[in-house]
Amino acid sequence: MMAHGHRRPARTAGSLRRRAVLLLVARFAIGLLIPTLIYYGLRGIGVSVYLSLLVSTLISAAPTVLGLVRRRVNALSAYFTTMVLGSVVVSLVAGSTEFLLAKEAVLTFVTGVWFLASAFTRRPLSYTMSRPLIEGRFRWPSEWDRLWVRSRGWRRMWRVSSLMWAVGTIGDAVIRVMMAYTLPPDEVPGLATGLVLVTSMVLIVVTNVYYIASGAFDRSSRLYQVRPELSAAAR
C-alpha cells in the first residue's frame, strides 16, 4: 500500500479528454495506412482492383463500427466516424473502378463544404476540432468560451481558419478525382494516402502561421483585448 503522502493524483477530466482525442487521432492515422496495405496485399495475390478496394474499406471500418458503441461521441469523434462509415457507404454504391478509387474525394469534398458552412455558424469546425487538443496547452489560452464571447478578433481568427481548411480540403478532393480518372488504378491508393498527409501538414503549417500572425501566442496582442460584447450572435 502506498504511503498516505504519495498517492497518485487522479486524472483530471481535461487530461482524460485529451488522451481520448489523441487516441482517436492515432486511430485515424493508422486507418489511413491499413486500407492501403490491405489493398496492395490483395492485389499481390491476384484479387481484382474493385474487390480489393471494397474489401480493404470494409475491413478498415470494422474497428470504428465496434468502437462506436463503446465510445462517447463528441464533435471530433463524430467527424472521424462519419468519414470512415461514409467511405463504406460510398464503396457499396454500384459504379466503375474509377468511381470507387475516387470515393474519398466525395468525403473530402463534404468535409470542405462542412468547414465552409461552419465558418458562418456559432462555432466554426476548426474551433470545435482544435479545442479538445490545445485549449490551455502549447501556449494556447484557456477559457475559450469567454474569449469567443468577448473577443471579436478571436472569433474572426477561427472563422478564417475554417475557410482555409475549406479551400484546402476541396482542392484535395479535386486532385483525388483527377488521379482516379487519369492514373493507373494501382497507383491511386498509395498516392491518395500520401495526399492526405501532405494536405493535412500543409494546412496545419499554414493555419499555425496565421495563428501566430493573429497574435494567438502573444497575450498582449489585440486578440486578447477583450470587451464585454455579450451579444446573442457571439455565444
Q: Residue range 129-144: average pLDDT?
A: 86
pLDDT at 174: 95
Counting every residue written for the chain, the total comes to: 235
Domain membership flag for residue 1:
no
pLDDT at 1: 42
* Residue linked to cell 454504391: 93
Q: DSSP alpha helices (H): ranges in the chain?
A: 13-44, 49-68, 75-92, 97-101, 103-118, 125-134, 144-150, 152-182, 188-214
pLDDT tens sequence across 40-77: 888 889 888 888 877 877 776 666 555 555 555 555 56
Domain membership flag for residue 2:
no
Domain membership flag for residue 196:
yes
pLDDT at 78: 63
Residue 228 has what DSSP assignment? -
The crossing angle, in degrees rounded to 10, of helices 49-68 and 75-92 is 150
Number of domains in the chain: 1
Of the pLDDT bands very low, low, confident and very high (cuts 50, 70, 90), residue 91 is low
Planar angle of CA 67, 76, 148, nearest 5 degrees: 155
Give me the domain span that covers residue 160. Answer: 11-234
Complete DSSP assignment for 2-34: --GGGPPPPPPHHHHHHHHHHHHHHHHHHHHHH
Residue 3 pLDDT exceeds 70: no
Of the pLDDT bands very low, low, confident and very high (cuts 50, 70, 90), residue 5 is very low
Residues 6+ apart with CB under 8 A from 46: none
Domain membership flag for residue 211:
yes
Domain membership flag for residue 6:
no
Domain membership flag for residue 134:
yes
Q: Residue range 5-21: average pLDDT?
A: 52
Domain membership flag for residue 175:
yes
pLDDT tens sequence across 187-225: 998 898 889 889 989 999 999 999 999 999 888 888 887
Of the pLDDT bands very low, low, confident and very high (cuts 50, 70, 90), residue 82 is low
Domain membership flag for residue 88:
yes
pLDDT tens sequence across 142-169: 889 989 988 999 999 999 999 999 999 9
pLDDT-wise least confident of 14-18, 181-185, 211-215: 14-18
pLDDT at 65: 59
What's the whole-number average pLDDT of the chain? 78
Taking only Cα atoms into account, the Rg of the chain, rounded to an integer number of angstroms, comes to 21
Planar angle of CA 89, 92, 95, nearest 5 degrees: 120
Determine contact, residues 125/165, Cβ cutoff 8 Å: yes
pTM for this prediction = 0.73
Cell numbers found for residue 15 = 487530461
Of the pLDDT bands very low, low, confident and very high (cuts 50, 70, 90), residue 9 is very low
